[in-house]
Structure 1
C-alpha cells in the first residue's frame, strides 16, 4: 500500500516538474502586477509562465533582459524609461502582442531603443504616447512591425506624416495620433492601409482636407484642429465612413463627404458654419470652393455638389451646436431623410422662418419634411418665432428642447384673448401652437420668459414630460394642463415664484416625477392624491408642515423626496415620522432643518431624539399654550367673583 502511494506521488511530481521546466501553464491565464511599487528596475526571478505583466507607475529607467517566453501583454507605462538594451531585453518575448510604453522618456536614445524593439515583430498593439517623439524617432520605432494592428502615438511631437511612416505596418486597423503638431499629411500616407478602420488625428494643426480617399475608414476624428473646409472629389467608389468628427475647428461650410458613404454620425459643433448671411450663400460658396479645389477652377460644370452628396447620406445624428447660424438651413437639412436627432443649440436663430425656394412660378411655398426627425434641440438661440410650416414638417418629432429662448405658447384656435383677465397679453401671431405636434412627447420651455400659459395650451398633444421652469413671471391659467393631464408623467414647474393660489394642478393619474422647487408654496396641492409619484422635489419653498394623509397616500409609490430649504416645524411632525418609517429616500435630509421656536436643528438630529426637543409638547400642544389658557380662565373666574360680590352689595343696599 505504502509502495503504491509513493509511486503515485512520484508520478505527480514528475508531471509537475515537466510542466514547470517546459514553462507551460496548467491553471489558465497568469498575470502579475507590480504597479505603484516604487521600483527602479524590473524584479528578478519573475514567473516564467507569466502571460500578463504590469510594471506601470514606477521609476524604471533601463530595461534589461526579460526571459518570459509566454508573455503576451507588458505594461511599462508611466515610468522613466529611456534605454532599452539592444538585443538583450525583449528578444525573448516571442509571444508578446501588446506593449504599452506610454509616458516615458523614449525620445532619448531612440536610435538605440528602436533596435531593441525590432525583435518584437509579432506585436499587435503598441502605445508610444507621451514620449515627446519627433518624426524621425517614430519612423525608427515602427520598423519591423508587420503584425501591428493598433498604434497609439498621442501627445508626441510629430509635425508631418509621410508615405514611408507606416509602410512596414500595412495591417493597421486603428491609429491614434491626437495631440501632436501635425500640419501636413503626404498623399499616400494612409491609402495603402487597407484594413484601417479607425483614425484619430484630433488636436493637431491641420488646416484643410482637400480630397479624402480612405475607403475603409469607419471612424475619423479630426476635431480640435484648424480645419476651414472638408472637400471630397466625387467618384463612384463605396466608402465605409460611419462617424466623422469635425468639431472644434474653423469650418465655414458644411463638409462635402464622399458620395457613396455609410455616414451616420456627424459632429460639427464649435465651428463657424452659418456665418454667411443665408443658406443660399453658404451653399453657393461651398460649391464654388469645390470647383476650385477639385476641378481646378473649371466652372463649365455647374452642379450643387453639396446637396448631391448630402441627399445620399444615411445620417441619423448631426451636431450643429455652437455655430454662427442666424437662419435655419431648411433645405440642406431636409435632404437628410434618415436624420433622427439634430442638435442646433447655441446658435443665433431668432426667427425660424420658412425661407424655402418655390417650385417654378408657383405662388405657394414648397412643403419640405423631416420624415425621421425625433429629437430636436434648439436651446439658447433667442428664438421668438417658429413658422407653422416648420411645425408641419416635423411629422415624427418626439422631443423638443426650447430652453433659454423667448417662445410663447399659443392658446387653442378660436379662443379669444379679450375675454381673459387684464393681465393677459394681447394675441401674438408669433406664438407657437404646440398642439399641432401630434407625436410630441417631451417638451422643455424652461427660461423662455413666458407671460401666460393659457387654458388648454397643449390641446391636441399627448405630452409625457413638460418643463416650465424659470419662467418667473408666468401666470398659469386654470385648466392650462387639462389636455395633457391623462398622459403627463413628468412635470417641472420650479422657479416660477408661484403661490398656492397661483398653482392649480389637475388630477394627473400617470404623474411620476414632479418638481415644484424654488417657489412660494406652503401647502401641497391636494390633487396629488391621484398621482403615483415616484420622485417629488419641494425644495426652497415656504412649507412649515406637510399634509399627513397626503404623505401617507403618496408613500405607496414615492421613492425619492427632496425637501430642504423650507421652514418645517419640528414638533408638528407626524408626516415626517411617516416619511422616516417608509422606504422613501431623502437625499438632502442632512441639509434640511426644522425649527423649534427661533432655533433650527437638522431634521436628522431631531429624528434621533424628537422627545427631547419636543418635551414641552403634549399631543402637539405647547405647555405654554396650556398655561395661557389656564391663566385666561382664572382671570375670567376672578372677574366673575368680583362682579358677583358687587351685585350682592348693591342688592343689600337696595333692601336697606
Structure 2
C-alpha cells in the first residue's frame, strides 16, 4: 500500500508481487524519488512555519491556567494569580472563577469597567498598584461582596474620586484600603471614605493632605491603623481622631506639623510623628484613663525640651534622636545674686508663666516613665543629664546618647537603673567617667558599653572589671592605655573579665599591649585597626588563641606574624599593612572572611589560592597592584563558587611591557600576557638577520687586514704542517 510517498509491504505478500513492484520501481525510479522529495519538502516547510510563528508571535499575559507556571511574570498558584508587569490594559477574563487573590501591579490599566470583575465573585484581595488608573466605575465591585483588601496605590484616582467613592460602597466586608500616591486632597478623601464602616486599615501616604478636620474620618468606627506619612500636613484639628475609638497605630511622619499639644488619644499604642518640625509635645495631664501608648517616635524634629508624657502610661519605646533637646538649668541658673534665674513662657492662649530655671525640666518628671525600656536621645544638644533624670526609668534596658555634647557622666545605681543592658555614649566630649564603687555592684546587667570617639583621659582602672555581665566594650578613638594590673589611674585593666566577648580598640594610638593585659578574658572579637604605631607580636594575643574568632589588624604596620596558634579564627583583617606576600600560616586556619586590601601583593601562589579557596567565603583584594602575567590565582578563585570577592570592581593589575598599564581585573582576558609575549617574536625575527649580516661583515673586515689568520687557525685545528 502506497501512502504519502512511503512503501508498505505485508508479511504475506508473494514473491511475484514483490518482484513486480521492484521492477516497477526500477522503471519509475526517477518519478518516485521526486515525489518523495516534494513531500518531504512540504513537511519541512510546515515545520519551519510553525516554529517561526511560535517564536515571532508574542505570548499574551491572558493565557490559560495551565500555561501560567511557564511564564516569568504571570503565575497561578491555587487561588492566587500574579499578573504584575505583564503590560496589561484590562483585567484578564479567562482566570478561574473561584479566584480569591488577584495582583495586577505595574501594568497600564487606566479604567476598571463595571464588568471587569463580574467573573470573580469569590475575590478577597485585589492589588492594582503602579498603574495609570484614572477611573473606577461605580458598579465594578457589585459582584465582589467578599473583597477585604484593596490596594490602589500609585495611580491617578484624583481625576474621578467621586465615582471611586460610589464604587467602594459595594464592599460591605472591606477591611484594608491603600490609596497612597494618588494626588488626593482632604476633600477628596472625605468624599471617598463615606460609609466605610468596616475599614480597619487605611493608607493615605504620599498624597496632598494639608489639614485634617473632624469630618474626614468621622465614619471609620472600626479603624485600627492609619498611615498619613509623606503628605503636606501642617494642622490637625482638635477632635479629628475623636471618633476613631479603636485606632491603635497612627503614622504622621514626613509632614510639616509644628507641635502636638494636649495629646489625649488614650487608645493609641504606636504614634510615629518623626520627620516633622515639631517643637513641643505636650500630653493632656488631667486624663484619668490610662494611656495605652507603647511606642512614641519623635525623631528628626525641632524639639528643644524633653516631651511632656502622660501621667499614666505604659510607654516602652521613646525615640527622640536628631532634635535640639537640652537641659538649660546650668546655663541659666548662674546669677551672681544667688537667686535662681527665671524663664518666661508665653502660652498659645497669650498667658505668661514664669518658671525657675532650676526646675525648667522638672515637669517632665511628673510623667510616668517607669515602663520605658528604650530611650534614644542621640544627635541632640545635651551637655549634661539632670540629677534623677534616669532614676525614675526603672525598666530602662537601652539608653542611647550618642552624638551629643556630654562632658562627664556619673555612673552609679542611684542615677542609672540596674536594669540597663545597653549604654551608648559614643561621639561626645567625655573626658572622664565618674564612678563610685561604694554603691556595691556597678550596673549589674550592663552588656554593651560604647564609649568610642570621646576624649577619655581620666577613667578608673577597675571600671570594666566591676561590670559583672559586660560582653562588649568599645573604646575606639580614645587616647587610652591598656595595663595588666590595677593601681595605675592612667590605664585600663581588661584582664580577667570573664563575660567579655567583644573588644574594640581601633584608633587609640596604641603602641603595645603586654601579654598579660588580656589574659583571662575569653574575647572572641578583637579590633585593633588604625593603630599605626602598634607593635604586633604573637605573644600579645597568645592567651586568646582558643577563643579568638575575629582579629582586626588593619593599618597596624604589620610585616609578618605567625597565625597558626589561632585555630578558632574565622575572620581576619590585615588590610593597609604593606604586605608583599601572604603569610603562609593562614593556610592552616579555617578562615571564612579575609581582608587583604591596600597592601603590596603582586600575586598569590596558585597553591595558596587553592587552599584558601576551599575555606574562604568573603575576600577583599582591592588596593593591591597585582601582576597581570601571574593571574592563575584569580582563575582559581573565579572557578570556586563559594569564594565571593566583595570588591571585585576595585581589583586591578599592573602590566609592564613597553609602558605601564592599569586595567580592571574583570576586563582582563586570560590570554592577554600570551599575546604580549607573542608580539616580541616579530622584533626578534626582524633583528636576527641584521645581526647575522653585521657579524659576517665584521669577519670579512678582520680577515681582509690579516690574511694569514685563516691558515694559522686551520693549522692549529688540524695539528699538521701546511706547505705553501
Structures share a fold, TM > 0.5?
yes
**Which among 483, 498, 504 is matched to residue 411 of structure 1?**
483
Q: Is the counterpart of residue 321 in structure 1 residue 378 in structure 2?
A: yes
Distance 1:390 1:608, change over 3 A: same
Aligned mates of 1:561, 1:28 — CA distance in 2: 43
Distance 1:197 1:519, change over 3 A: same
**How far 1:203 moved relative to its partner?**
0.9
**1:493-546 deviation per Cα after TM superposition (whole angstroms, max 9, x unaligned):** 11233333xx67683232211110111223555665764433222232234566
Q: How does 1:565-584 map to 2 (within 5 A)?
A: 565-566=623-624
**Which among 20, 42, 52 is matched to residue 101 of structure 2?**
52
Q: How does 1:3-152 map to 2 (within 5 A)?
A: 29-31=79-81, 33=83, 35-37=85-87, 39=89, 42=91, 48-66=97-115, 67=118, 68-86=120-138, 88-152=139-203
Q: How does 1:438-457 map to 2 (within 5 A)?
A: 438-457=498-517
Q: Is the counterpart of residue 458 in structure 1 residue 490 in structure 2?
A: no
Q: How does 1:414-433 map to 2 (within 5 A)?
A: 429=489, 431-433=491-493
Aligned mates of 2:609, 2:108 — CA distance in 1: 61
Distance 1:540 1:258, change over 3 A: same
Distance 1:304 1:611, change over 3 A: closer
Matching residue of 2:569: 511
**How far 1:148 moved relative to its partner?**
0.2
**How far 1:356 moved relative to its partner?**
9.7
Gaps of 5+ in 1: 1-26, 416-426, 617-656
Confirm or deny: 8 A CA contact 1:202 1:221 kept in the other structure: yes
The worse-fitting range, judged by mean Cα deviation, of 376-385 and 190-199 is 376-385
Confirm or deny: 8 A CA contact 2:571 2:594 kept in the other structure: yes
**Which among 215, 219, 223 is matched to residue 172 of structure 1?**
223
Confirm or deny: 8 A CA contact 2:465 2:494 kept in the other structure: no
**1:71-97 deviation per Cα after TM superposition (whole angstroms, max 9, x unaligned):** 2222233334333434x3333332222
**How far 1:490 moved relative to its partner?**
0.5
Matching residue of 1:374: 447
Matching residue of 1:203: 254
**1:386-433 deviation per Cα after TM superposition (whole angstroms, max 9, x unaligned):** 566864775433223444x32423222369xxxxxxxxxxx8x45444
Aligned mates of 2:601, 2:325 — CA distance in 1: 50
**How far 1:457 moved relative to its partner?**
3.6
Q: How does 1:243-642 map to 2 (within 5 A)?
A: 243-274=295-326, 276=328, 304=362, 306-307=364-365, 309=367, 311-315=369-373, 317-327=374-384, 332-333=389-390, 335-349=392-406, 351-352=408-409, 367=439, 369-381=442-454, 386=459, 391=464, 394-403=467-476, 405-413=477-485, 429=489, 431-435=491-495, 438-476=498-536, 479-500=539-560, 507-525=565-583, 528=586, 531-544=589-602, 557-566=615-624, 585=643, 587=645, 592=651
CA RMSD after TM alignment: 4.8
Aligned mates of 1:571, 1:60 — CA distance in 2: 57
Aligned mates of 2:141, 2:377 — CA distance in 1: 49
Aligned mates of 1:247, 1:555 — CA distance in 2: 46
Distance 1:574 1:140, change over 3 A: closer
Distance 1:435 1:278, change over 3 A: farther
The worse-fitting range, judged by mean Cα deviation, of 68-77 and 139-148 is 68-77
Matching residue of 1:217: 268
Matching residue of 2:13: none
Confirm or deny: 8 A CA contact 1:173 1:198 kept in the other structure: yes
Distance 1:65 1:274, change over 3 A: same
Confirm or deny: 8 A CA contact 1:344 1:378 kept in the other structure: no
Aligned mates of 2:97, 2:345 — CA distance in 1: 61
**How far 1:255 moved relative to its partner?**
3.0
TM-score (norm. length: structure 2): 0.65
Aligned mates of 1:34, 1:610 — CA distance in 2: 45
**How far 1:154 moved relative to its partner?**
0.4
Distance 1:36 1:333, change over 3 A: farther
Confirm or deny: 8 A CA contact 2:372 2:393 kept in the other structure: yes
Distance 1:356 1:272, change over 3 A: farther
Matching residue of 2:703: none
The worse-fitting range, judged by mean Cα deviation, of 159-168 and 429-438 is 429-438
Distance 1:190 1:399, change over 3 A: farther
**How far 1:30 moved relative to its partner?**
4.7
The worse-fitting range, judged by mean Cα deviation, of 192-201 and 258-267 is 258-267
Q: Which has the larger radius of gyration?
A: 2
Aligned mates of 2:383, 2:459 — CA distance in 1: 14
Aligned to 1:400, what secondary structure does the other structure show? strand
Aligned mates of 2:654, 2:183 — CA distance in 1: 62
Q: Which gives a bigger RCO, structure 1 or 2 (Cα 8 Å, sep 6+)?
A: 1
Confirm or deny: 8 A CA contact 1:352 1:387 kept in the other structure: no
Distance 1:478 1:71, change over 3 A: closer
Aligned to 1:255, what secondary structure does the other structure show? coil
Distance 1:604 1:128, change over 3 A: closer
Distance 1:583 1:145, change over 3 A: closer
**1:109-161 deviation per Cα after TM superposition (whole angstroms, max 9, x unaligned):** 43444233333332111111112222222111111101101100001222233
Aligned to 1:209, what secondary structure does the other structure show? strand
Confirm or deny: 8 A CA contact 2:391 2:415 kept in the other structure: no
Confirm or deny: 8 A CA contact 1:319 1:344 kept in the other structure: yes
**1:569-611 deviation per Cα after TM superposition (whole angstroms, max 9, x unaligned):** 6888998898789876251577656778767898889996799
TM-score (norm. length: structure 1): 0.71
The worse-fitting range, judged by mean Cα deviation, of 142-151 and 573-582 is 573-582
Aligned to 2:280, what secondary structure does the other structure show? coil
Aligned mates of 2:401, 2:542 — CA distance in 1: 31
**How far 1:271 moved relative to its partner?**
1.4
Aligned to 1:210, what secondary structure does the other structure show? strand
